[in-house]
Amino acid sequence: MIEINDVSYSYLGIRALSHISIKIEAGEAVAIMGPNGSGKSTLLKLINGLIFPDTGCYRFQGQEITENQLQDPIFAKKFHQKIGFVFQNSDTQLFCADVYDEIAFGPRQMGLSESEIGKRVNDLLELMQLDAFHHRSPYHLSGGEKRKVAIACVLSMNPEVLVLDEPINELDPRTQRWLVDFLIRLNKSGKTLITSTHNLELVPEISTRSILFDENHGILADMQTQKMLLNTDLLIKANLVDEYYHIHDGEDHVHFHDHIF
């Protein structure tokens, strides 16, 4: 479904992706992990057709995605309808006057009738437990509610692939749990999930496969999530676990802490 072949990308002369090759099949749940600034968010933007490779090529469902291709409004609409992107910062994703308009934005761009849009929006408001926020301004919602609205906005277009950039960040534990359960259900219903995260505890729940970036903006490992999380050397190399100084039974000592399982 998604095929990235030897892609490199630089932003203002700074390397962000270096010779990346990834293949993702429909229905997979993939986690993108790596240290800060390793290129995770850049990769997600590339998958969503917001930036284009300097070298290499990106194919979606067999079709190469280029700037020229996305200049065609019909192709662009079809492509963006198939891939939904939940941004790291919900504030930038929420730009309409109220929650209803926010969720209806995508379907309106797809040219659906107002009655069909109304049905989709109301179903999603119910599914995401947002019924009470129908006419509320997104700016006045809490962080968790904003994230729910951001996901609802994307789901209103019924995409085949859902790309999420650090979706669990800044959420309280209960909302984190709700979101993880929701993502598991989405994946079980057949949606392809691509999630970038630092949260090692939740990775095995939201993914079966993990792609690990290194500080040189390349791929350090691409393997089953369970296997990757047991490979402490790999996680240390990617800055995902660190030496941890603490006291056990009155004795202070230092060791690597991942607290994964």
Partner 1 sequence: MNQKYQIHPVLKVIFTFSLVILLSFSHNFAFVMTILVYTLFSLSLMKGNQILAILKISLWVSLFTFIILLPSNKYSSVMITVKVFTTVTTINMLPHSTKWSSITGAFKFFNIPDIFILVLDIAIKYIVMLGNHALQLIWALKLRSIGKNRDKYQSLSGIAGNLFIKSVEMSKEMYSAMECRGFNGKYITLEKKRLSMVDLLYMLIHIGIVILFFYIGKIVE
Query: Can residue 104 be called a binding residue for partner 1 (CB under 8 A)?
Result: yes
Kindly state the smallest distance separating residue 132's Cβ from partner 1, in Å. 15
The pairing of strands 55-60 and 63-64 is antiparallel
B/e letters for 65-92, b = 16+ CB within 10 Å, e = fewer, are beeeebeeeeeebebbbbbbbbbbebee
Query: Can residue 167 be called a binding residue for partner 1 (CB under 8 A)?
Result: no
Query: Can residue 52 be called a binding residue for partner 1 (CB under 8 A)?
Result: no
The H-assigned helical ranges of the chain are 40-47, 67-71, 73-82, 90-93, 99-109, 114-127, 143-155, 173-188, 203-206, 225-230, 232-237
Residue with smaller CB distance to partner 1, 48 or 210: 48
Q: Are 100 and 156 in contact (CB under 8 A)?
A: no
Which of 6, 68, 108, 181 lies at the binding interface for partner 1 (CB under 8 A)? Answer: 108
Give the range of 7-15, 152-160, 168-176, 224-232 binding partner 1 by CB under 8 A.
152-160
Query: Can residue 98 be called a binding residue for partner 1 (CB under 8 A)?
Result: yes
Which of 139, 185, 227, 242 lies at the binding interface for partner 1 (CB under 8 A)? Answer: 139
Counting DSSP H helices and E strands in the chain, the numbers are 11, 12
Query: Can residue 217 be called a binding residue for partner 1 (CB under 8 A)?
Result: no
Which of 15, 59, 77, 237 lies at the binding interface for partner 1 (CB under 8 A)? Answer: 77
Residue count of the chain: 261
Query: Can residue 84 be called a binding residue for partner 1 (CB under 8 A)?
Result: yes
Kindly state the smallest distance separating residue 260's Cβ from partner 1, in Å. 32
Nearest to 182 by CA among 200, 211, 205: 205
Q: Residues near 205 by Cβ (< 8 Å), separated by ≥ 6?
A: 180, 184
Query: Can residue 92 be called a binding residue for partner 1 (CB under 8 A)?
Result: yes
End-to-end alpha carbon distance in the chain:
31
Which of 20, 24, 124, 157 lies at the binding interface for partner 1 (CB under 8 A)? Answer: 157
Kindly state the smallest distance separating residue 192's Cβ from partner 1, in Å. 16
Categorise residue 111: left if φ over 0, alpha if ψ from -120 to 50, beta otherwise: left
Give the range of 14-22, 77-85, 222-230, 249-257 binding partner 1 by CB under 8 A.
77-85
Instruction: Give the binding site for partner 1 (CB under 8 A).
Output: 45, 48-50, 73, 76-77, 80-81, 83-85, 87, 89, 91-93, 95-98, 101, 104-106, 108-111, 113-114, 118, 135, 139, 153-154, 157
